[in-house]
Structure 1
Amino acid sequence: MPHPGWSSFSFDGIGTRWEISTAAGLDTGVRRQLLDAVEEYDQTYSRFRQDSLVSGLATKPGRVELPGHAAALRNIYEALYRLSNGAVTPLIGSSLSRLGYDAAYSLAPSGPAEAPPRWEDALDWSGTALVAKEPLVLDIGAAGKGQLVDLLGSILRSAGHSDFLVDGSGDMLHAGNQPVTVALEHPYNTAQAIGILELQNSALCASSTNRRAWGDGLHHVLDGSTGRPIRTTIATWTMAASAMVADALATALFMVEPATLEAEFDFSWLRVVSSGAATFSDGFEGKLFT
C-alpha cells in the first residue's frame, strides 16, 4: 500500500483501473499528461476499439507506423517468441477472439481453440514499422500494460517526482527511499493473500488465470503454439527493473522454464502451479505465508 500522507490520482484506462500515488501532489498539467499517455497507448494498440491504429489489420494486410517506444516492445516479444518456440506471440489475438475474448466481449467461443498465424509467416515488425502480410489481430497484452506503467513513471520523473507508485491493477512501478508493502493475491481466493513483499525502486507484475476467465476453463493466458488455455501454471509474479520486462516475463513463465528466461533476463520470480505448489527464484524478495 502507498505511504500514509501520499496523494492519489485514480482513473480508468485500457480497460483497467489505475492509481498513481505520489509523495507530492500532482498538478493539473501532469495529470493531463498521464491521461493523454494512456489514451494514446489505447488508441494505438487496442483490439477492442475500431478506431485504434492496429484495428484495421484484422480485416486486411497493411503497414502502420507505431510510436517510438514500439521498438522496445518488438524486441522483447521477439526474444520471448524465440525462447518459447512461438508460445509467446503478439499474434495471440485471433486465438483469444475465437474463444470469446473478442472486441465485443462476447465470451462465447466461435469454434475450438486454434493457433494464431506464425510471426515469420504473417508479420514483419522492424523497429516502429509494422507490416501485416495477411489479416491478423495484434495483441500486445503480455507486455503492453507493463510498458505503459513505465511510460507513466517517466512522465512523473520528468515532472520532478522521485517518490511514487504507479499501479495498473497490480502491475506496479515504485520509486523512492521508502519501500511499499504489497500483498500477493491468492490465485483461488482474491480476498486472501499467499504472501507479501517489499517493493522498492523496482517493478512488480503478476499474471493469473483467475483474471479475465469465462466459460468452462477458458481464460486469457493462451499457448500461442496451440491457441489453448494454459492448465499447468495458475499464477506468476515477477520483479525487474522495468514493468515492461516484468509484465512480459510474468506471462512467459506460464510457458517457459525459469532457467531459460534467466539466461537472458535479469529478474526474480514466484510461480504457483495447479496443485497449489509454489516455487521461486533465489532473488525473490517476498515472504510466503505458511
Structure 2
Amino acid sequence: MHTLDFEAIGTQWQLTTAAPLSPGTGGAVTELVESYDRTWSRFRSDSTVARMAETAGRFELPASAAPLLRLFDTLQQLTGGAVNPLVGRSLEVLGYDAAYTFQRSGPSAPAAAWDDTVSWTADGRGTTLTTSAPVTFDIGAAGKGQLVDLVCAVLDEAGHREYVVDAGSDLRHSGGTPLRVALEHPYDATRAIGVLTLADRALCASAVNRRQWGDGLHHVLDARTGSPVDAVAATWTLAPDAMTADGLATALFFTGPEELSRSFTFDYVRMFTDGRADYSPAMAGVLFP
C-alpha cells in the first residue's frame, strides 16, 4: 500500500492507495483542498466566507456547494434549527475565532435564522448564494466529510479503486481489505468503547472533547441558543458517503435517530454524557461489554 500524508483544514490527512498516486493526481488533491479552504474557511481573511462576514450580497460558489447546502437545508429542518451553518458567529463569541483566542467575549449568541437569512440557487456550473445580512458560516458539521468525498472523487477519476481517505475523525473506504476501526472513548483517548469493520462506506465521528477549551466550552453548539451541548458526548455514523455521515454525526447530538432515518439510511452509535449508549441494530456487536 502507498500513503500520502498532509495537513489541511486544521487536521491531519492520510490517503492510502493500492497503487501509488501520480504527480498529477497528487497535485489535483492539493489544488482541490486549497480551493475548498479558500471558499469555506472562516480562519483565513481571503476566503469567500470572510467576505460573507463583512457584507450581505450575492456570492458565487462552486457547483459542489449545492449538495452541501441541500444537506444543511434538510438537517436544520430535522433538528428544528439546532444544526445551522450560520453558527460561526456563535463560536466566535465563545472564543473559537479566527485568531484562536479561546477567550469568551460575551454571552452565548444564537445563530441567525437559516431560512430568513440565506437563499441559494444552483445549475451545473456553480452555486449562487444570497444573504440578507452579514453572516459567519461554519460548515464544520458536514464540510470535512464533503471534502473527503471530493478527494475520493479525484481518486476515482484517476482510476483508483482501493483506497482509504482518513481525515481525522472522518474516514471513507473503497475496495480491498475491510478496515478495522476503534471508536475512541470521548473522555480517554487511550481507550476505545468498541471496534467496527469499515468496508465501502464512510465512518464519521463527532465528540465534545475534540475541540474543547475553558469550562464546558467546546465546538458542538446548539445554533438556537449558541450554547455547547451537554447531554451527548460523542457520536459515530456509517453512511454511503462521508458528507452525509458527518452531518448525521452532528445531528445526533440534537435529534433522535428515528427522525433522521426518515430522510437518511445510516447506522450509528451515540454515547451520552452519563455513560449510556444507544445504537442501531447493525452496530449492536461493535461495542465492548
Match of residue 93 from structure 2: 98
Which residue is equivalent to 1:258? Answer: 257
Match of 2:202 in 1: 203
Which residue does the alignment assign to 2:102? Answer: 107
Shift in Å, 1:285 = 6.8
Segments ≥4 residues shifted beyond 4 Å: none
TM-superposed deviation, 1:286: 5.5
Q: Deviations over 1:1-47 (max 9, x none)?
A: xxxxx111000011111000011111211111111111110001000
Map of 1:125 onto structure 2: 120
Question: 1:166 — aligned with what?
Answer: 165
Of 13, 19, 30, the residue aligned with 1:18 is 13
Give the structure 1 partner of residue 71 of structure 2.
76
- Name the SS of the counterpart of 1:287 in structure 2: coil
Q: 1-side partners of 2:166 and 2:241: how far apart?
A: 13
Unaligned 5+ segments in structure 2 are none
In 2, the alpha carbon distance for the partners of 1:174 and 1:156 equals 12
Structure 2 partner of 1:3: none
Which residue identity lines up with residue 252 of structure 1 in the other structure? A
Tell whether 2:37 aligns with 1:42: yes
Partner of 1:185: 184
User: 1:141-191 CA deviation, whole Å, 9 max, x = no partner?
Assistant: 101000000000011111111000000012001000320111110110011
How far did residue 109 of structure 1 move? 0.7
Aligned to 1:213: 212
**Following TM superposition, by how much is the alpha carbon of 1:257 offset from its aligned partner in structure 2, in angstroms?**
0.8
* Cα shift at 1:120: 2.1
Shift of 1:241: 0.3
**Do 1:74 and 1:126's aligned partners in 2 also have CA atoms closer than 8 Å?**
no
Report if the CA contact (8 A) 1:54-1:64 is conserved. no
What displacement does 1:283 show?
2.3
What is the CA–CA distance in structure 2 between the aligned matches of 1:12 and 1:91, rounded to whole Å?
25
Which one-letter code corresponds to 2:275 in the other structure? G
Give how far 1:267 is off.
Answer: 0.4
Could you say if the C-alpha distance between residues 32 and 286 of structure 1 is closer, same or farther in structure 2, counting changes exceeding 3 Å?
Answer: farther
Residue 149 of structure 1 aligns to a residue in which SS?
Answer: helix
Q: Secondary structure at the match of 2:86?
A: coil
Q: CA deviation at 1:79?
A: 0.4
3-state SS in 2 of match to 1:138: coil
3-state secondary structure, aligned to 1:82: helix
Measure the CA separation in 2 of the matches of 1:257 and 1:227.
20
Task: Give the whole-Å Cα distance in 2 for the aligned partners of 1:137 and 1:123.
Answer: 12
CA distance in 2, matches of 1:285, 1:69: 35
**Residues in 2 aligned to 1:86 and 1:289: alpha-carbon distance in whole angstroms:** 34
1:115-139 residue CA offsets vs partner (Å, 9 max, x unmatched) = 0110122212233111111011011
CA contact (8 A) 1:202 1:239 kept: yes
Any idea what the Cα deviations from partners look like across 1:195-225, whole Å, max 9, x if unmatched? 1111000000000000110001000000011
Unaligned stretches of 5+ in structure 1? 1-5
If the length of structure 2 is used for normalisation, what is the TM-score?
0.97
Contact 1:232–1:274 (CA<8 Å) still a contact in 2? yes
1:53 Cα deviation after fit: 1.4
1:149 equivalent in alignment to 2:174:
no
Which of 29, 54, 57 matches 1:59?
54
User: What is the distance in 2 between the residues matched to 1:112 and 1:248?
Assistant: 26
Distance across 1 between alignment mates of 2:196 and 2:243 = 20
Check the 8 A contact 1:270/1:279 in 2, yes or no.
yes
Counterpart Cα distance in 1 of 2:51 and 2:206 = 28
Q: Aligned to 2:34, what secondary structure does the other structure show?
A: helix
Q: Deviations over 1:222-246 (max 9, x none)?
A: 0011111000000000000000000
8 Å Cα contact 1:198/1:286 also seen in 2:
no
Task: Supply the RMSD in Å over aligned alpha carbons.
Answer: 1.0
